[in-house]
Protein backbone atom coordinates (compact mmCIF):
# COMPACT_ATOMS: atom_id res chain seq x y z
CA UNK A 1 0.00 0.00 0.00
CA UNK A 2 1.21 3.49 -0.77
CA UNK A 3 0.19 4.71 2.73
CA UNK A 4 2.87 2.47 4.17
CA UNK A 5 5.50 3.81 1.76
CA UNK A 6 4.88 7.53 2.30
CA UNK A 7 3.98 7.38 5.99
CA UNK A 8 0.28 8.04 5.61
CA UNK A 9 0.72 11.18 3.49
CA UNK A 10 -0.54 9.72 0.27
CA UNK A 11 -2.84 7.25 -1.34
CA UNK A 12 -3.18 5.32 -4.53
CA UNK A 13 -6.31 5.33 -6.59
CA UNK A 14 -6.95 2.37 -8.86
CA UNK A 15 -9.91 2.42 -11.21
CA UNK A 16 -10.16 -0.47 -13.67
CA UNK A 17 -6.71 -0.48 -15.29
CA UNK A 18 -5.65 3.07 -14.42
CA UNK A 19 -3.42 4.06 -11.52
CA UNK A 20 -2.64 7.45 -10.06
CA UNK A 21 -1.10 8.57 -6.78
CA UNK A 22 -2.26 11.42 -4.54
CA UNK A 23 0.01 13.01 -1.91
CA UNK A 24 -0.78 15.63 0.72
CA UNK A 25 1.68 18.05 2.32
CA UNK A 26 2.46 18.54 6.02
CA UNK A 27 1.54 22.21 5.70
CA UNK A 28 -2.15 22.91 6.20
CA UNK A 29 -4.33 24.32 3.43
CA UNK A 30 -2.13 22.98 0.65
CA UNK A 31 -3.75 21.21 -2.23
CA UNK A 32 -2.97 17.54 -2.73
CA UNK A 33 -0.52 16.66 -5.53
CA UNK A 34 -1.57 14.09 -8.07
CA UNK A 35 0.61 11.99 -10.32
CA UNK A 36 -0.24 11.47 -13.95
CA UNK A 37 -2.61 8.61 -14.66
CA UNK A 38 -0.83 5.41 -15.64
CA UNK A 39 -2.59 2.72 -17.59
CA UNK A 40 -1.72 -0.76 -16.36
CA UNK A 41 -2.18 -3.71 -18.68
CA UNK A 42 -2.16 -7.23 -17.36
CA UNK A 43 -1.55 -9.70 -20.15
CA UNK A 44 -1.69 -13.44 -20.40
CA UNK A 45 1.30 -15.31 -21.81
CA UNK A 46 -0.34 -15.80 -25.21
CA UNK A 47 -1.21 -12.12 -25.64
CA UNK A 48 2.26 -11.11 -24.45
CA UNK A 49 3.85 -13.52 -26.95
CA UNK A 50 1.74 -11.97 -29.71
CA UNK A 51 2.86 -8.45 -28.76
CA UNK A 52 6.50 -9.56 -28.76
CA UNK A 53 6.04 -11.19 -32.17
CA UNK A 54 4.48 -8.00 -33.56
CA UNK A 55 7.34 -5.90 -32.20
CA UNK A 56 9.94 -8.22 -33.76
CA UNK A 57 8.08 -8.12 -37.09
CA UNK A 58 8.11 -4.32 -36.90
CA UNK A 59 11.88 -4.47 -36.44
CA UNK A 60 12.15 -6.64 -39.56
CA UNK A 61 10.27 -4.01 -41.58
CA UNK A 62 12.66 -1.35 -40.31
CA UNK A 63 15.59 -3.64 -41.17
CA UNK A 64 14.33 -3.80 -44.75
CA UNK A 65 14.42 0.01 -44.88
CA UNK A 66 18.04 -0.01 -43.64
CA UNK A 67 18.86 -2.62 -46.30
CA UNK A 68 17.27 -0.53 -49.08
CA UNK A 69 19.25 2.54 -48.01
CA UNK A 70 22.45 0.48 -47.91
CA UNK A 71 21.73 -0.73 -51.47
CA UNK A 72 21.23 2.87 -52.58
CA UNK A 73 24.51 3.94 -50.95
CA UNK A 74 26.37 1.02 -52.56
CA UNK A 75 24.90 1.85 -56.00
CA UNK A 76 25.95 5.49 -55.64
CA UNK A 77 29.44 4.44 -54.51
CA UNK A 78 29.72 2.15 -57.54
CA UNK A 79 28.69 5.06 -59.81
CA UNK A 80 31.31 7.33 -58.22
CA UNK A 81 34.03 4.67 -58.47
CA UNK A 82 33.33 4.26 -62.19
CA UNK A 83 33.62 8.00 -62.95
CA UNK A 84 36.42 9.12 -65.26
CA UNK A 85 39.50 10.37 -63.41
CA UNK A 86 38.78 14.03 -64.18
CA UNK A 87 35.22 13.87 -62.78
CA UNK A 88 36.41 11.75 -59.86
CA UNK A 89 38.78 14.55 -58.77
CA UNK A 90 36.07 17.26 -59.06
CA UNK A 91 34.87 19.12 -55.98
CA UNK A 92 31.28 18.04 -56.62
CA UNK A 93 32.36 14.41 -56.32
CA UNK A 94 33.98 15.17 -52.98
CA UNK A 95 30.77 16.79 -51.81
CA UNK A 96 28.75 13.79 -53.00
CA UNK A 97 31.10 11.46 -51.13
CA UNK A 98 30.58 13.55 -47.99
CA UNK A 99 26.82 13.18 -48.31
CA UNK A 100 27.23 9.45 -48.83
CA UNK A 101 29.46 9.23 -45.75
CA UNK A 102 26.78 11.00 -43.70
CA UNK A 103 24.11 8.63 -45.05
CA UNK A 104 26.31 5.63 -44.30
CA UNK A 105 26.98 6.82 -40.74
CA UNK A 106 23.28 7.45 -40.14
CA UNK A 107 22.32 4.08 -41.60
CA UNK A 108 24.83 2.34 -39.31
CA UNK A 109 23.40 4.23 -36.33
CA UNK A 110 19.87 3.22 -37.35
CA UNK A 111 20.91 -0.42 -37.58
CA UNK A 112 22.59 -0.28 -34.19
CA UNK A 113 19.48 1.29 -32.65
CA UNK A 114 17.34 -1.44 -34.22
CA UNK A 115 19.63 -4.06 -32.68
CA UNK A 116 19.34 -2.39 -29.26
CA UNK A 117 15.56 -2.20 -29.53
CA UNK A 118 15.53 -5.85 -30.58
CA UNK A 119 17.61 -6.80 -27.54
CA UNK A 120 15.16 -4.97 -25.25
CA UNK A 121 12.29 -6.85 -26.90
CA UNK A 122 14.21 -10.11 -26.59
CA UNK A 123 14.76 -9.52 -22.86
CA UNK A 124 11.01 -9.01 -22.56
CA UNK A 125 10.40 -12.22 -24.52
CA UNK A 126 12.64 -14.20 -22.14
CA UNK A 127 10.02 -13.68 -19.42
CA UNK A 128 7.43 -15.58 -21.41
CA UNK A 129 7.58 -19.38 -21.12
CA UNK A 130 5.37 -19.89 -24.20
CA UNK A 131 7.98 -18.49 -26.61
CA UNK A 132 10.18 -21.34 -27.87
CA UNK A 133 13.81 -21.21 -26.75
CA UNK A 134 14.99 -21.94 -30.29
CA UNK A 135 13.20 -18.81 -31.52
CA UNK A 136 14.86 -16.75 -28.80
CA UNK A 137 18.32 -18.15 -29.69
CA UNK A 138 17.77 -17.41 -33.38
CA UNK A 139 16.71 -13.83 -32.67
CA UNK A 140 19.62 -13.33 -30.31
CA UNK A 141 22.04 -14.50 -33.02
CA UNK A 142 20.43 -12.21 -35.62
CA UNK A 143 20.47 -9.18 -33.33
CA UNK A 144 24.14 -9.78 -32.50
CA UNK A 145 24.93 -9.97 -36.23
CA UNK A 146 23.07 -6.69 -36.80
CA UNK A 147 25.10 -4.98 -34.11
CA UNK A 148 28.37 -6.35 -35.51
CA UNK A 149 27.45 -5.10 -39.01
CA UNK A 150 26.63 -1.63 -37.70
CA UNK A 151 29.89 -1.40 -35.77
CA UNK A 152 32.01 -3.22 -38.36
CA UNK A 153 31.51 -3.07 -42.11
CA UNK A 154 29.15 -0.11 -42.11
CA UNK A 155 31.45 2.02 -39.93
CA UNK A 156 34.46 1.02 -42.04
CA UNK A 157 32.58 1.99 -45.20
CA UNK A 158 31.84 5.38 -43.64
CA UNK A 159 35.52 5.86 -42.83
CA UNK A 160 36.54 4.90 -46.38
CA UNK A 161 34.01 7.35 -47.82
CA UNK A 162 35.40 10.04 -45.54
CA UNK A 163 38.95 9.29 -46.72
CA UNK A 164 37.76 9.39 -50.35
CA UNK A 165 36.14 12.75 -49.73
CA UNK A 166 39.31 14.22 -48.22
CA UNK A 167 41.80 13.10 -50.85
CA UNK A 168 41.11 13.49 -54.57
CA UNK A 169 44.22 11.38 -55.34
CA UNK A 170 43.02 8.41 -53.30
CA UNK A 171 39.36 8.74 -54.29
CA UNK A 172 39.25 5.74 -56.63
CA UNK A 173 41.04 3.46 -54.18
CA UNK A 174 39.05 4.57 -51.11
CA UNK A 175 35.70 4.45 -52.92
CA UNK A 176 36.62 0.91 -54.03
CA UNK A 177 37.27 -0.04 -50.38
CA UNK A 178 33.99 1.57 -49.35
CA UNK A 179 32.14 -0.38 -52.04
CA UNK A 180 33.63 -3.68 -50.85
CA UNK A 181 32.63 -2.91 -47.26
CA UNK A 182 29.14 -1.85 -48.33
CA UNK A 183 28.75 -5.08 -50.31
CA UNK A 184 29.83 -7.09 -47.27
CA UNK A 185 27.32 -5.15 -45.17
CA UNK A 186 24.57 -5.84 -47.69
CA UNK A 187 25.33 -9.55 -47.65
CA UNK A 188 25.12 -9.53 -43.88
CA UNK A 189 21.84 -7.61 -43.93
CA UNK A 190 20.35 -10.06 -46.41
CA UNK A 191 21.30 -13.00 -44.19
pLDDT at 169: 83
69 burial class (0-12, 13-18, 19+ CB within 10 angstroms)?
Answer: middle
What's the pLDDT score for residue 172?
85
Residues 6+ apart with CB under 8 A from 153: 181, 182, 184, 185, 188
Give the chain's mean pLDDT: 87
4-33 burial, b at 16+ Cβ within 10 Å, e below that, comes to eeeeeebeeeeeeeebebeeeeeeeeeeee
How far, in Å, CA of 64 to CA of 165, rounded? 28
Using alpha carbons, list the distances in angstroms from residue 39 to 34, 71, 90. Answer: 15, 42, 59
pLDDT band at residue 25 under the 50/70/90 scheme:
confident
Residue with the bigger pLDDT between 77 and 41: it is 77
pLDDT tens-digit profile of 119-149?
A: 999 999 999 999 999 999 999 999 999 999 9
Would you state the pLDDT for residue 8? 44
Per-residue pLDDT at 121: 95
Residue 168 has what DSSP assignment? S
Amino acid sequence: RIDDVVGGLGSAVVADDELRAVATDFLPDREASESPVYRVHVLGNERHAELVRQKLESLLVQLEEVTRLEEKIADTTRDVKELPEQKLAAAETGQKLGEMKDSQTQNAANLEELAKEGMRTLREALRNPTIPQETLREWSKNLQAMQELAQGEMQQASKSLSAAQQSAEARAQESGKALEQEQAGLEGLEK
